[in-house]
Amino acid sequence: MLNKLKRYVKETPHIRYSNCHEDSDFALQNIKGKPEKILTIASGLDNSLAFLLLEPRSVLAIDSNETQIYLCNLKKCGIEHLEYEDFLSLLGIGKDNGGQIYSRLRPYLDKETVEYFDIHLFLISEIGIVNCGKFEYYFQFFKKHILSKTHSKKTVEAFMTAESLEEQNEIYRKKYNNLRLRLLFRIFFSKTVMKKLGRDKECFAYAKGGLSAGLKDKFDRCIECNLNRDNPYLQYIIQGKMASLPTYLVKENYLKIKKNIHSLEVRRADFAEVMRENESYDLMYLSDIFEYMSEEETSFLSEDIYRNLNKGGQVLLYNMMIERHLCGKLRETELDQDKNRTFYYRHCYHYIKE
């Protein structure tokens, strides 16, 4: 399976992210009030779907990558037309084969999405949608070829299923946090390796240095503050699957999202293009998009963001490898990441237009 995925992610175009690797719970906890009109970077759509729990009037999820849009269309259409268990199967984490579920969903999908997944049906029927992105390949490779050589299955199981933080951190100190882990962490999360295996080259145009610097400290803090057994993001990296589920896939949340799915629009668009439409928003969830832009572009778009935010409007922004800030007209707060279950973001910022 991994070799087949490896061949796929070398194609152009390919799905970059089949999941959102940003903690939806963390985002929801740091949004103030109930924004009515939301703009998000789509990526794998997970967080855009989670924002429907706020019962907004509209959520516009944008992405400039056409294959991400096909993925988002598939997920949105699946929620519209499938019951919970069938949707899990479509993603590759349910009881039935995803290909069978796709054949039922196919008549409801747009032509372009059908054409893409008809050609790449193996992503659904063999690999599983939750595993089919380039970033997911990176983590699957890490788990199979790196982590499997640092700890026994028994140690991994104990570490990932500890019932208290005290027990978890004791296992981490005594068994899991060994020299091989620290060394491999530094190598695998380097700019060189991530560019080769995990993210597309354009993601590094403005990167100085690698991700690994300081990342181990973030990982340590994540382990110290969050139970692994409740962390689907870490489970995916270390075990290659999610024993617990991200926000939008928790059953009670799924049912609420399904009721509000009509409020979600998925659109292929560039962020700057959307800003030129001069629509006003109460919340912009912008992931780490400014890492792909120069400081000049960031400054220019900051003014557009300010102009297109309603009074009291908010922005959530992440920094992974490059530190970027929005214009001084917006009040900035750096968020405490102790309860962020994803450890690879150096900074998370919340902005508000006063």
DSSP code of residue 288: T
From 56-70, 114-128, 186-200, the region with the lowest mean pLDDT: 186-200
Looking at residue 51, its pLDDT comes to: 99
* Cα 79 to Cα 58, 90, 199, 253, 320, distances in angstroms: 17, 10, 28, 12, 31
In the chain, how many domains are there?
Answer: 1
Alpha helices by DSSP H, listed for 226-354, are 232-239, 251-260, 271-275, 295-308
| Contact indicator for 158, 270 with CB cutoff of 8 Å | no
Q: Is residue 177 part of a domain?
A: yes
What's this model's pTM, rounded to 2 decimal places? Answer: 0.93
| Contact indicator for 23, 233 with CB cutoff of 8 Å | yes
Mean pLDDT across the stretch 68-75?
99
Q: Is residue 142 part of a domain?
A: yes
Owning domain of residue 218: 138-239
* Cα 330 to Cα 35, 158, 312, 314, 323, distances in angstroms: 17, 45, 10, 9, 17
Q: Is residue 167 part of a domain?
A: yes
Q: Is residue 226 part of a domain?
A: yes
Mean pLDDT across the stretch 26-33?
97
Q: Is the pLDDT assigned to residue 342 strictly greater than 80?
A: yes
Q: What percent of the chain is modeled with pLDDT above 90?
A: 77
The rounded mean pLDDT for the chain is 92
Q: Is the pLDDT assigned to residue 189 strictly greater than 80?
A: no
Q: What percent of the chain is modeled with pLDDT above 70?
A: 93
Q: Is residue 146 part of a domain?
A: yes
Q: Is residue 40 part of a domain?
A: no
Distance from C-alpha of 306 to C-alpha of 263, rounded to nearest angstrom:
24
Distance from C-alpha of 257 to C-alpha of 230, rounded to nearest angstrom:
21
